[in-house]
Amino acid sequence: MGSSRIAQALRSPVGVVASVGLLAVIVLAIAAPLIWSGDASRIDILHASQGSSSAHWLGTDALGRDILYRVLVATRLSVVLAVLAAAIGAAIGIPIGAVPALFGGRVGRLVTGLINLAVAFPALLVAIFVASIIGVGAHGAVVGIAVAIAPYFARLSQTLSSSVAGSEYLAAARMIGVRRFRLLTRHVLPNIAEPLLITSTISIGDALLSLAGLSFLGLGVQPPRYDWGRMLNEGLNRIYVNPEVALGPAVAITIGALTFALFGEVLAKAAGAGGARRWLRGELPASTVAAGACDGDDVLAVEDLTISFPGGAVPVRSVSLRVAPGEIVGIVGESGSGKTLTAMAVADLLPAAAHVSAAKLCLFGSDPRALSASQRRRLLGRSLAVVYQDPMSALNPALRVGRQVGEVSEVHHGISKRAARDRAVERLRSVRIGSADARARQFPHEFSGGMRQRAVIAMGLMAEPKLIVADEPTTALDVTVQQQILRLLRDVTVSRSSAAILISHDVAVVSQLCVRVVVMYAGRVVEELDVDTLVAGPAHPYTVALVASVPTMESKREQPLASIPGRAPTPYDDIPGCPFAPRCPRASERCRAEMPPLEQHSPTHRAACWHPVNVLEKAAV
């Protein structure tokens, strides 16, 4: 970890608290016995066992000694013993943990097994047992705790050194015959020093707590010496009469231990810093409700849909989309063009951070934003089906497939679990899953990718969907399976006369299934056309390039595949003109300055381009 990163971490609020606390504890440990030993050991029988007073803030003990002074003076013994225990524990554990990496083979496995076994036992119990062998007292407690935490150091150094052991330079060092001890000191340890140091700091805090625990049980520091645990022990007997006598040492133990733990955490954060970028920060106003009148019999009508995220990303800009009953509409575009977000906005499945605004949003004749949560759930649950991109992750691994498919009907049609299962089996059969009854009892991991996608489709068919949103339903599948799934999707839409939105980056897939196609680029609709026009010759240069990039049987094999040079703008870029202009061969000054509107070319064809590819040129191409 760079020293600048540590400095930065220490300057954070938590870092300041930790460093100030640590400094205070160290100063107290050094100075308190020098200044206050006399006060701490002054016996005053007349004022024995008193509660808090102005003379003795935390009261006095059985011999009339001031408890506040004793707590302060006890800092040294408590901290020194803790540091000692942690150091001995590290000295025992770290070399043992390095053994597997250095020796490997049977010895390594044996040591690894023993470390795993030792870690399983609670540290405090190990400490008590070892302390009982060595003998009750400070010695026994320190050694006991050292032995108890050694396995944790061993485990850490084992994992760390095994990652170093696999590295190239260690192999090289071994190859040129560097001796094992030298390997350990020169090559392994320096590379794992940082996390070990952090762990050591944290384990001083643990050792402090354990020592206090042992002393508290009467198994640690013995009178006349005293540490915080010992004082807590003496105080607890009087908790009824003078609770502050017990609370003083208790607070000292807590602060002492937390200081070391916190300091270690700060160091660990500094070491692990970088990469923890949170772009979803800040709040946006809730999605704007501008419920326009929903008339007409379109299944879906969206106008001016814009989706933005906190941080300034606007991945979808002013998109309008209509889907008539029974119509299959395709949305094509490269990844990042906003097509999936558009569909998920329609399905009300965007992440909560997304901010949606639309001049008009009508689904099955009503604006879902104007409905109550339960009305919306009912409307979407019964009429909308979604097929997801990755069937491997879209099914819940912990639930049987039959249950996952069936629960739609349990919830939305109020039928029994058993009836829902029967219906699920029937739907699984209808998407051509063989031995559906047995399959329904299986878990998703027992299904192939294509079968999982069938199951997801079956899930959507549990209700009678009026609209199926399929988000790249074949992208994650084998080419041979793709065709089956596409055919199945077409069959179910046609047989149930439901409408569908098919999202794909593949023009070929879309032209196979759809009647009408919407082309999206950089969050905008750039062209809307029927499939015949798409094949015959689109107007927007982007669509032309997209179609040209699809290899056909006639493509000459010696020619490289057509590709579009350059890259699409990011959702953060706010471009005044046409977003495709930087990559467009036909772009003019106007394109860069002004966004072209969607221009009607024919009743079924609109394109947003200042310089559309015209029919004559098409003939020439």
Partner 1 sequence: MTAAPLSFDRQRNWWAVHTRTAYLFRRTSRLVVSLVLLLTATFFMIHLVPGDPVRAALGTTAPASLVAARRAALGLDKPLVTQYVDYIRNILHGNFGTSLVSGEHVTDVIRARGPSTFRLAGIAFLVVIGIAVPLGLLMAALTRDSKRRRLELGFTATAGALAAVPSFLTAVALVFFFAVKIHWFPVAGQGGVSSYVLPIASLAIGPIAALSRIVRVEGLRVLEQDYIRTARGKRLPARIVYVRHALPNTLTPTLTVAGLLVGGLVAGTVLVENIFAWPGLGTSLVSAVAQQDYSTVQAIAVIFGAVVLLANFAVDVALGAIDPRSTILDA
For residues 347 and 384, the answer to whether their CB atoms sit within 8 Å is yes
For residues 581 and 591, the answer to whether their CB atoms sit within 8 Å is yes
Q: Is the dihedral of CA 560, 563, 566, 567 positive or negative?
A: negative
Q: Does 188 bind partner 1 (CB under 8 A)?
A: no
Q: Does 380 bind partner 1 (CB under 8 A)?
A: yes
DSSP secondary structure code for residue 561 in this structure: P
Q: Which of 152, 153, 226, 388 binds partner 1 (CB under 8 A)?
A: 388
Q: Does 272 bind partner 1 (CB under 8 A)?
A: no
Compute the distance between CA of residue 375 and CA of residue 379 in angstroms, rounded to an integer: 6
| CA 488 distance to own-chain centroid | 35
Q: Could you say which residues in the range 328-357 bind partner 1, by CB under 8 A?
A: 347, 349, 351-353
Q: Does 525 bind partner 1 (CB under 8 A)?
A: no
Q: Which of 72, 99, 102, 246 binds partner 1 (CB under 8 A)?
A: 246
Indicate the residue type of 484.
Q
Give the nearer residue to partner 1 in terms of CB position, either 36 or 152: 152
Q: Does 110 bind partner 1 (CB under 8 A)?
A: no
285 Cβ contact list (under 8 Å, min separation 6): 355
Q: Does 4 bind partner 1 (CB under 8 A)?
A: no
For residues 331 and 501, the answer to whether their CB atoms sit within 8 Å is yes
Compute the distance between CA of residue 117 and CA of residue 102 in angstroms, rounded to an integer: 20
How many positions of this chain bind partner 1 (CB under 8 A)?
74
For residues 466 and 383, the answer to whether their CB atoms sit within 8 Å is yes
Integer Rg of the chain from CA: 36
Q: Could you say which residues in the range 61-90 bind partner 1, by CB under 8 A?
A: none
Q: Which of 59, 89, 195, 213 binds partner 1 (CB under 8 A)?
A: 213
Give the nearer residue to partner 1 in terms of CB position, either 170 or 363: 363
Give the nearer residue to partner 1 in terms of CB position, either 254 or 512: 254
Q: Does 261 bind partner 1 (CB under 8 A)?
A: yes
Question: Stretches 92-100, 239-247, 537-545, 571-579: which one binds partner 1 (CB under 8 A)?
Answer: 239-247
Give the nearer residue to partner 1 in terms of CB position, either 344 or 526: 344
Question: Stretches 41-49, 245-253, 505-513, 531-539: which one binds partner 1 (CB under 8 A)?
Answer: 245-253
Nearest-approach distance from CB 394 to partner 1, in angstroms? 5
Nearest-approach distance from CB 411 to partner 1, in angstroms? 6
Are β-strands 516-521 and 328-332 bridged in parallel, bridged antiparallel, or unpaired?
A: parallel
Give the nearer residue to partner 1 in terms of CB position, either 20 or 133: 133
Nearest-approach distance from CB 112 to partner 1, in angstroms? 13
Q: Could you say which residues in the range 435-474 bind partner 1, by CB under 8 A?
A: 435, 438, 442-443, 445-446, 456, 459
Q: Which of 63, 125, 536, 615 binds partner 1 (CB under 8 A)?
A: 125
341 Cβ contact list (under 8 Å, min separation 6): 307, 315, 316, 350, 354
The three-state secondary structure class of 335 is: coil
User: Which token pair is 297?
Assistant: 């019999």
Compute the distance between CA of residue 442 and CA of residue 400 in angstroms, rounded to an integer: 5
User: Which token pair is 59?
Assistant: 């009261």
Q: Name the CA dihedral angle for 245, 256, 212, 233, rounded to a multiple of 10 degrees.
A: 0
Compute the distance between CA of residue 521 and CA of residue 508 in angstroms, rounded to an integer: 17
Give the nearer residue to partner 1 in terms of CB position, either 393 or 600: 393
Q: Does 500 bind partner 1 (CB under 8 A)?
A: no
Give the nearer residue to partner 1 in terms of CB position, either 164 or 502: 502
User: Which token pair is 394?
Assistant: 């879209």
Q: Does 120 bind partner 1 (CB under 8 A)?
A: yes
Question: Stretches 384-392, 522-530, 582-590, 604-612: which one binds partner 1 (CB under 8 A)?
Answer: 384-392
- Locate all alpha helices (DSSP H) within 217-242, ordered by sequence: 228-236
Q: Does 247 bind partner 1 (CB under 8 A)?
A: yes
